[in-house]
């Protein structure tokens, strides 16, 4: 009986995901809707629990307020440092990729670029799933610095749209500093002949580093309901980067699917094979920990 109820519950949630997908994606509507419609959608992410005076979500939610206050000057410094290092390394590596460019292996270069985007999408899903599903804000160092933003995002989804460039992208810039620095080291030390031999691989590494760096900016755009540049809307409409209506599926409670937030290309295939659910079942059996318990705690916070 219990197993049947569990399966039924899973099926109901999946149907809810597909209803969201069907209503928001299958219509073929552009990602950048008209201004009034976009504002209405943004208001839907910030509501009140009727009759209680308590915010259901949004910046007035008790948990969202507490989590926002945990953003510290030390964290801000770390973000600034990583952004500066990252932009410097991307600029250096791009310059050297351009001056060493050759048409000889253009097919391998294009494959490397696309493979980098796919790898970045999977990496974004793995990190997003891990931080959404496990751990706690109370963990030493990691909790307030890296898990906190994920908890805040589920109870105040539009908070990310109020973050500046540094707060939005600082952590992702940190993740790519080491591989981009190693790539820069190779350009400094290797001969032109050696660089020619590894050029397509370097294109893969650069594409991966670039799209990991941009992931949270792309994520921010998927929550920005008006005022986006037309070129961002075009990239969303063509599903080159994460479309806004595609990402809305993840924000169906209890936030257990569609974790990939760079391009979103892998979300449907991973959902079809039950990838995240299988990982959660394995971890729960091995550790006894239930997924998303800390996330639920913050969602239910009232004071």
Task: Please tell me the least confidently modeled range out of 28-37, 79-88, 246-255.
Answer: 28-37
Q: pLDDT tens across 277-297, in order?
A: 999 999 999 999 898 887 777
Please check whether residue 35 is in contact with residue 226, taking contact to mean a CB–CB distance below 8 angstroms. yes
48 beta partners: 55
Among 134-143, 175-184, 245-254, the range with the most confident prediction by mean pLDDT is 175-184
Residue 5 has pLDDT above 80, yes or no: no
Structure tokens at 6: 């569990």
40: confidence class by pLDDT, cuts 50, 70, 90: very low
Q: pLDDT tens across 264-276, in order?
A: 999 999 999 999 9
Res 253: pLDDT: 73
Residue 3 has pLDDT above 50, yes or no: no
Res 293: pLDDT: 81
254: confidence class by pLDDT, cuts 50, 70, 90: confident
Please check whether residue 33 is in contact with residue 41, taking contact to mean a CB–CB distance below 8 angstroms. yes
Cβ neighbors of 236 (< 8 A, separation 6 or more) are 31, 32, 221, 222, 228, 242, 243, 244
CA–CA distance from 162 to each of 133, 143, 153, 159, 166 (Å)? 24, 22, 12, 5, 11
Q: pLDDT tens across 177-225, in order?
A: 999 999 999 999 999 999 999 999 999 999 999 999 999 999 999 999 8
34: confidence class by pLDDT, cuts 50, 70, 90: very low
Residue 12 has pLDDT above 60, yes or no: no
Res 6: pLDDT: 44
69: confidence class by pLDDT, cuts 50, 70, 90: low
More confident position, 20 or 113: 113
Res 67: pLDDT: 52
Res 23: pLDDT: 41
Burial class (CB in 10 A: 0-12, 13-18, 19+), 149: buried
**What is the mean pLDDT of the segment spanning 89-114?**
96
Percentage, residues of the chain above pLDDT 70: 75
48: confidence class by pLDDT, cuts 50, 70, 90: very low
How far apart, in whole angstroms, are the C-alpha atoms of residue 284 and residue 259?
19
CB atoms near residue 25 (< 10 Å) = 17
Res 298: pLDDT: 64
pLDDT, averaged across the chain = 81
Residue 81 has pLDDT above 90, yes or no: yes
Please check whether residue 272 is in contact with residue 139, taking contact to mean a CB–CB distance below 8 angstroms. no
More confident position, 132 or 80: 80
């Amino acid at each position: 009986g219990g197993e049947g109820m569990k399966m039924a519950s899973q099926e109901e949630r999946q149907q809810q995901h597909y209803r969201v997908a069907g209503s928001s994606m299958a219509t073929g509507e552009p990602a950048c809707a008209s201004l009034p419609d976009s504002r209405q959608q943004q208001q839907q992410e910030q509501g009140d629990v009727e009759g209680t005076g308590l915010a259901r979500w949004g910046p007035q939610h008790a948990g969202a307020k507490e989590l926002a206050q945990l953003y510290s000057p030390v964290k801000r410094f770390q973000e600034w440092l990583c952004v500066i290092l990252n932009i410097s390394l991307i600029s250096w590596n791009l310059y050297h990729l351009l001056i060493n460019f050759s048409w000889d292996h253009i097919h391998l270069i294009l494959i490397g670029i696309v493979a980098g985007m796919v790898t970045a999408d999977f990496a974004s899903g793995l990190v997003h799933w891990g931080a959404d599903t496990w751990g706690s804000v109370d963990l030493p160092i990691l909790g307030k610095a890296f898990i906190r933003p994920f908890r805040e995002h589920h109870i105040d989804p539009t908070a990310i749209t109020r973050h500046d460039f540094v707060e939005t992208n600082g952590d992702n810039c940190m993740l790519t500093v080491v591989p981009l620095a190693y790539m820069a080291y190779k350009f400094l030390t290797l001969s032109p002949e050696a660089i020619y031999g590894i050029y397509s691989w370097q294109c893969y590494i650069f594409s991966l580093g670039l799209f990991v760096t941009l992931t949270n900016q792309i994520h921010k755009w998927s929550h920005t309901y008006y005022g986006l540049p037309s070129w961002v809307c075009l990239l969303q409409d063509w599903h080159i980067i994460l479309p806004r209506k595609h990402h809305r599926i993840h924000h169906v409670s209890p936030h257990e699917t569609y974790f990939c937030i760079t391009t979103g290309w892998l979300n449907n295939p991973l959902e079809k094979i039950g990838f995240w659910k299988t990982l959660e079942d394995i971890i729960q059996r091995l550790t006894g920990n239930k997924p998303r318990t800390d996330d639920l705690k913050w969602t239910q916070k009232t004071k």
